[in-house]
Structure 1
């Protein structure tokens, strides 16, 4: 399973040196850190690949915070294990 900390690490990699000036946690919104939609998609698809899960596209489009993405990953993982 993925944690908020792991997602924050992925965001920090995308942000590079800008990340050192920000506080990243479960309440962090992707918009507040200035991630482009392409960068967000890259993070989301990376998580899908790493965890071998598939997100519901309509739900993934509604993700606004790190915590939202963690919940979505947990839901997708439980759906995958139930199948």
Structure 2
């Protein structure tokens, strides 16, 4: 079962390897870290958790024709 705690751990795993001031990722990237396959309810749940974090101001969201891209900056409490 995917929880907000697992999503936060996956975000920290994704940002650990970045050297710049920001990291960009999609819900499916978080899903890959968590071992989720395909598209389905799990990715929708991950996306909902990420949207909730964005509403709190911890992430930024950019939308384009390919979907949502989430941005985390170095000053965020979620960075590493």
TM-score normalised per structure 2 = 0.35
User: Greater helix share, 1 or 2?
Assistant: 1
User: Greater strand share, 1 or 2?
Assistant: 2
Larger radius of gyration: 1
TM-score normalised per structure 1 = 0.34
